[in-house]
Structure 1
Amino acid sequence: MTAALPETAWMPRDAARSAESQVREWLAARTGIAATELPLQRDTQDRPRLGGALDGHDISWSHSGDGLLLAFGTGVTLGVDMEWPHGKRKVAEIARRYFTPDEQAWLAVQSDAAARDHAFHRLWCAKEAVLKAHGHGLSFGLDRLQFAEIDGALRLDHADHALGEAASWRLHEWSPAPGYLAALAWRPR
């Protein structure tokens, strides 16, 4: 059984305010709980957690460029990442350092530099989404999970045992706004 796709929302990021304050406003409108009363806290790894009346729900967000992306779901553990690829990253160098040999090989067979850059950002978003859901973020290690492209979609092919069974994770990739790439990872609780 596949868990339903959690809810997502993209909005322009107000750089004068914290992303969390914008998330609280969105979540307040979504749940009817005042932003100041939301049971949104951070755990010891700084991962956002919902409790109280929202126990059983999960939330994640990401910001890049001028955008803010939120994900909200019930009965799932989720993470979301969004990137605004702007060509300033040394993708080959980063991939050699942080991606698995199979992922590096997949990047190497892309048709040109633009395709490699796009594929790199897809992998980055997918990995970061899973690691945000896991709760340890990038410090866990990008090389401790491996994605493979199957029929045009990325799938978690292998994961460190701390992440659970690779097959239990779902991934949704999309462009939430022009010029942005995003990935939402989730698994049933």
Structure 2
Amino acid sequence: MVSQLPLAHWHHQGLQLWHLAHTPGSRGEPLARTVLGPALGMAPAALPISRSERGRPQLDAPLGGFDAGWSHSGGHLLVALGQRVRLGVDLERIQPRPKMAEVIARFFHPAEIDWLLGLDEAGRQHWFFRVWCAKEALLKAHGHGISFGLHRFALLARGSDLVLAHSDVELGPAASWQLHEWAIADDFRAALAWQVAGACDNGGHEHPYPPR
């Protein structure tokens, strides 16, 4: 894989993120290696990347203290890197979802259902993709992916922000999770979720902020 200059490179609370142009239909890992390698002082091909039983990428020794993830959609690839954290990144294209209300009612947490189905169509469209993208990022960080169950934790609005309002015990305390989300392009949402390594050993937690 030939290295390319990232479209953007950010530093956020000790984490690094890269936005790269991506060829639809191609794998994300080879391109992710081209930015992770230099950042970690290794040749891209030499990076010790393996997969968990559930397919989550992980960095092995001597880079076991680092975590990395990537997500691609359309012509975009996001790559994230952090140390002493578990992180997940997701990228979603905003497009019409004719059965959006059915998806919410079937798969989301009861508090999210009450909130999202109470919005008008424009509001529901806006928040649905933000919630979905953030849920994917958090579950990638956790390592189980979407099979864990979207209904087992709730992301709710606090003003213009999303907060983790309820966390399943297996995810650890809600306060242990950090979330950053943004629009990477007019029709794409991006989300980065991370947790200090080992924090999920504690019980679930209710966030004090109500939805708005």
Q: Same fold (TM over 0.5)?
A: yes
> What is the rounded CA distance, in whole Å, between the counterparts of 1:160 and 1:105 in structure 2?
19
Query: How does 1:161-176 map onto structure 2 within 5 Å?
Result: 161-176=169-184
| Structure 2 residue 27 is matched with structure 1 residue 18 | yes
Matched residue, 1:115 = 123
> What is the rounded CA distance, in whole Å, between the counterparts of 1:22 and 1:163 in structure 2?
30
Shift of 1:39: 0.8
| Structure 2 residue 147 is matched with structure 1 residue 139 | yes
Do the aligned partners of 2:70 and 2:79 also contact (CA within 8 Å) in 1? yes
Query: What's the TM-score once normalised by structure 1's chain length?
Result: 0.91
C-alpha RMSD of the superposition: 1.6
Matched residue, 1:152 = 160
User: Tell me, what secondary structure is at the counterpart of 2:35?
Assistant: helix
> What is the rounded CA distance, in whole Å, between the counterparts of 2:176 and 2:115 in structure 1?
23
Percent identity reads 44
Matched residue, 2:73 = 64
More displaced stretch, 177-186 vs 160-169: 177-186
More displaced stretch, 172-181 vs 120-129: 172-181
Shift of 1:93: 1.2
| Structure 2 residue 64 is matched with structure 1 residue 55 | yes
Hey, which of these two has a bigger chunk of helix by percent? 1
- Greater than 4 Å deviation, 4+ residue runs: none
Do the aligned partners of 1:10 and 1:177 also contact (CA within 8 Å) in 2? no
**Any stretches of 5+ residues in structure 2 without a counterpart?**
1-11, 198-212
Query: What's the TM-score once normalised by structure 2's chain length?
Result: 0.82
Going from structure 1 to structure 2, the CA distance change for 1:89 and 1:28 (only over 3 Å counts) comes to: farther
Q: What code does the residue aligned with 1:177 have?
A: A
Shift of 1:16: 5.6
Shift of 1:5: 5.0
Q: What code does the residue aligned with 2:28 have?
A: A
> What is the rounded CA distance, in whole Å, between the counterparts of 2:102 and 2:19 in structure 1?
30
Matched residue, 2:203 = none
User: Tell me, what secondary structure is at the counterpart of 2:181?
Assistant: strand
> What is the rounded CA distance, in whole Å, between the counterparts of 1:16 and 1:127 in structure 2?
23
**Any stretches of 5+ residues in structure 1 without a counterpart?**
none
Q: What code does the residue aligned with 2:71 have?
A: S
More displaced stretch, 134-143 vs 4-13: 4-13
More displaced stretch, 71-80 vs 29-38: 29-38
> What is the rounded CA distance, in whole Å, between the counterparts of 1:89 and 1:79 in structure 2?
28
| Structure 2 residue 56 is matched with structure 1 residue 31 | no
Once the two structures are superposed, residues 42-62 of structure 1 have per-residue CA deviations (whole angstroms, 9 ceiling, x without a partner) of 011110001223221111111
Shift of 1:109: 3.0
Matched residue, 1:79 = 88
Do the aligned partners of 2:137 and 2:191 also contact (CA within 8 Å) in 1? yes
| Structure 2 residue 193 is matched with structure 1 residue 185 | yes
More displaced stretch, 10-19 vs 136-145: 10-19
Residues paired across the two proteins, number: 186
